[in-house]
Amino acid sequence: MNPTIMVVEDEPAIQDLIQINLEMGGYRVLLHGTGEEALKSIQHELPDLALLDWMLPGISGIELAKKLRGDSRQRCGRRQTKRSRVGGGRLHYQTVFVARA
């Protein structure tokens, strides 16, 4: 079974871009537009890796990462942050949370 990556991103264009690239790489992708959706999803399935946008409606990516770290089913709680420039040169932050080793 291919590794599962949960992507939590509220901008559909960015969601699509990430999904296409991950699926081309052979990963199974779970897409969510809010942290609340992601929390409901992980009650049923814990992904191998979560890619989180920092600025989400409702629960932020940082708060979601803290909640994921507290999930007793995960074995590893490594969090990495990536900063990149997107349209118009504005900064975009994403957090990658490795849920399982």
User: Rounded CA gap, 37 and 59, in Å?
Assistant: 10
pLDDT tens digits for 6-46? Answer: 999 999 999 999 999 999 999 999 999 999 999 999 888 88
Q: What domains are defined for the chain?
A: 4-98 (3.40.50.2300)
What average pLDDT does the structure give for the chain? 78
The predicted model scores a pTM of 0.72
User: Rounded CA gap, 9 and 2, in Å?
Assistant: 21
